[in-house]
């Protein structure tokens, strides 16, 4: 069974258990991975590193045999994003004072989750994605037409330093509706199309260039969340791809 198929199977199992028990504590009893973090309460712009262990007892875990095979997903990529190495960041609360979301992890056939409480208060983004032509953050929706290219730079809000290149330590994580970071096949979760995915939405940090897919197929529009980190500095931007 492929990794994507295993993830899909685990997600389906989680969804079924949620509908049956409707209780976070009871759900955890059925899981064999133990997820922990220094804090499970995050304000917008705050991050925390997940620790994933194989569950021994409900209160204790042991190190994974192959931790590099752990994969993550979020129940709400517009509120809580997770990077491929398990860093979790609150990026919104849907305009409400508080919100909640889950981060789930799989390792082989094992899976587990951790619930987070999210708050609208927080430091907010400390990195900006600046486009050319300029589109003000949060004031105007950033849209790309099919096949369109757009120049961009990543800048630190406090110092103004440019941090676009990954050589500066910046790393990028993209979300395409499935909750899986850098997902090449979001259709496995969404049931939709893979027209917009990590294979078709291109981001070149060396040239500072993002390129929309040539086609979004039968979609009316497609939404992409670009999340970027440089050490403790984080930022994110929602991009909508539309037909020509």
Q: Convert the pLDDT of each residue in 76-112 to its tens digit.
A: 999 999 999 999 999 999 999 999 999 999 999 999 9
Out of 62, 96, 119, a domain closes at 119
Predicted local confidence at residue 14, as pLDDT? 47
How confident is the model over 8-57, as pLDDT tens digits?
444 544 443 344 335 565 565 679 999 999 999 999 999 999 999 999 87
> What's the whole-number mean pLDDT along residues 147-176?
98
113/167 same-domain check: no
CATH code assigned at 221: 2.60.40
101/149 same-domain check: no
163 lies in which domain range? 127-242
Q: Are strands 71-74 and 98-107 parallel, antiparallel or unpaired?
A: antiparallel
Predicted local confidence at residue 136, as pLDDT? 79
Domain count, the chain: 2
Q: Where are the alpha helices (DSSP H) in the chain?
A: 3-21, 24-29, 187-190
In 3D space, the residue among 15, 164, 189 whose CA is nearest the CA of residue 102 turns out to be: 15
Q: If you search the block for the tokens 């909750």, which residue do you land on?
A: 179
Predicted local confidence at residue 60, as pLDDT? 76
Out of 119, 150, 178, a domain closes at 119
Out of 89, 119, 149, a domain closes at 119
70/109 same-domain check: yes
Tokens of 140: 């105007």
186/115 same-domain check: no
141/112 same-domain check: no
How confident is the model over 106-150, as pLDDT tens digits?
999 999 999 999 999 999 999 999 999 888 776 678 999 999 999
């Amino acid at each position: 069974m492929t990794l994507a198929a295993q993830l899909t199977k685990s997600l389906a199992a989680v969804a079924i258990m949620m509908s049956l028990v409707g209780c976070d504590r009871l759900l955890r009893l059925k899981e064999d991975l133990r997820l922990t973090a220094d804090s499970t309460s995050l304000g917008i712009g705050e991050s925390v590193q997940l620790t994933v262990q194989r569950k021994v007892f409900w209160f204790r875990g042991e190190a994974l045999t192959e931790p590099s095979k752990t994969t993550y997903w979020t129940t709400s990529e517009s509120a809580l994003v997770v990077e491929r190495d398990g860093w979790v960041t609150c990026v919104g609360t849907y305009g409400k004072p508080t919100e909640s979301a889950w981060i789930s992890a799989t390792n082989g056939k094992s899976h587990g989750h951790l619930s987070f409480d999210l708050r609208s208060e927080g430091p907010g983004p400390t990195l900006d994605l600046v486009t050319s032509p300029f589109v003000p953050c949060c004031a105007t929706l950033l849209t790309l037409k099919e096949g369109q290219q757009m120049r961009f730079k990543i800048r630190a809000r406090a110092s103004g330093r440019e941090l676009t290149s990954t050589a500066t330590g910046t790393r990028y994580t993209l979300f395409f509706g499935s909750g899986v970071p850098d997902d090449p096949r979001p259709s496995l979760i969404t049931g939709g199309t893979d027209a917009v995915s990590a294979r078709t939405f291109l981001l070149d940090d060396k040239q500072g260039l993002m390129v929309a897919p040539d086609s979004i197929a039968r979609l009316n529009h497609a939404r992409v969340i670009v999340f970027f980190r440089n050490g403790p500095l984080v930022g994110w931007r929602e991009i909508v791809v539309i037909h020509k």
